[in-house]
Amino acid sequence: MKKNSRREFIAKTTLAAAGTIGFLSFDWQKDFSKQIMSEELIMPSGDGTFTLPPLPYSYNALEPAIDAQTMEIHYTKHHQAYVDKLNAAIAKAPELKGKSIEELLTNIQGLPDGVRTPIRNHGGGHWNHSFFWQILAPKNSMDQPTGKLKEAMISQWQTFDNFKDQMKQAGTGVFGSGWVWMVADKDGKLSIVTTPNQDNTLMDISTAKGKPIVGIDVWEHAYYLKHQNKRAEYLDDIWSVINWKKAMEIYG
């Protein structure tokens, strides 16, 4: 499907679904969704199944911040498992076939009872990891944002170092597994929030809402092989591989 036909497609499918499973819509999220990830990343393939998206760099490209073995296992085992289990859930609710991952996640409450939890967990896992791979990039790219995103960050946290400290505090404060995010509200105001497990800030059921600009996986599987139990050390290292160019694109 061509990019410019996606909104039309979503409008049609949302309308078609509205009567059957009560899809809600958040206007600003709909506007944002087209800018967060490409259509290739959020739409299922022709047969209605989701697939593991290509990793945009090699397994060792993010070393030393993230080691090659962690990347390989994280991508080929963990992310693949989310994709497989999401597809298994959708196979049980064929009326959901063809919907984008964002349509499913922004309407968790409207999903059929039997698949609501697996789609929340594995659909969330699929979206979150697809987002994570694109918000990381090999070293020596931009080490800080510029332009509008930088201005918004400075107005919120005064300095880039203070922002990093706040992200680290929030990330180390997540009990168990989850994510730490820098998100924007509809006016572009930034904040730092966390979500448990594979929830994200697009989900209707999430108390923390917003457009994800940067998201960091703080599950142990994201860092344990290199950093063991030292999540704070992982959160210090990861700034060298954040794709600020992509974050600026998403912020708009």
The site for Mn ion (CB under 5 A) is made up of 217, 219
- Strand pairing class (211-217; 178-184): antiparallel
Q: What angle do CA 110, 112, 117 make, to 5 degrees?
A: 90
Q: Which is nearer to Mn ion, 102 or 217 (CB)?
A: 217
3-state secondary structure (DSSP) of residue 240? helix
Minimum distance from residue 2 beta carbon to Mn ion (Å): 31
- C-beta atoms surrounding 200 within 10 Å: 27
Minimum distance from residue 222 beta carbon to Mn ion (Å): 5
Alpha helix ranges (H) inside the chain: 6-21, 27-36, 39-42, 68-73, 80-91, 101-105, 113-118, 124-135, 147-157, 160-172, 224-227, 231-237, 244-251
Minimum distance from residue 4 beta carbon to Mn ion (Å): 32
User: How far, in Å, CA of 72 to CA of 69, rounded?
Assistant: 5
Q: Which is nearer to Mn ion, 100 or 198 (CB)?
A: 198
Minimum distance from residue 177 beta carbon to Mn ion (Å): 8
User: How far, in Å, CA of 82 to CA of 100, rounded?
Assistant: 15
Nearest residue to the partner Mn ion, using Cβ: 217
Q: Which is nearer to Mn ion, 69 or 155 (CB)?
A: 69
Q: Which is nearer to Mn ion, 103 or 217 (CB)?
A: 217
Minimum distance from residue 198 beta carbon to Mn ion (Å): 8
Q: Which is nearer to Mn ion, 25 or 197 (CB)?
A: 197
- Strand pairing class (190-196; 178-184): antiparallel
| Torsions phi, psi for 217 (to 5 deg) | -75, 120
Q: Which is nearer to Mn ion, 125 or 210 (CB)?
A: 125
Minimum distance from residue 143 beta carbon to Mn ion (Å): 24
| Residues 6+ positions from 245 with CB-CB distance below 8 Å | 137, 141, 142
Minimum distance from residue 200 beta carbon to Mn ion (Å): 12
Contact call for residues 105 and 127 (beta carbons, < 8 A): yes
In order of 34, 138, 162, 204, the CA distances from 109 in angstroms are 22, 38, 36, 7
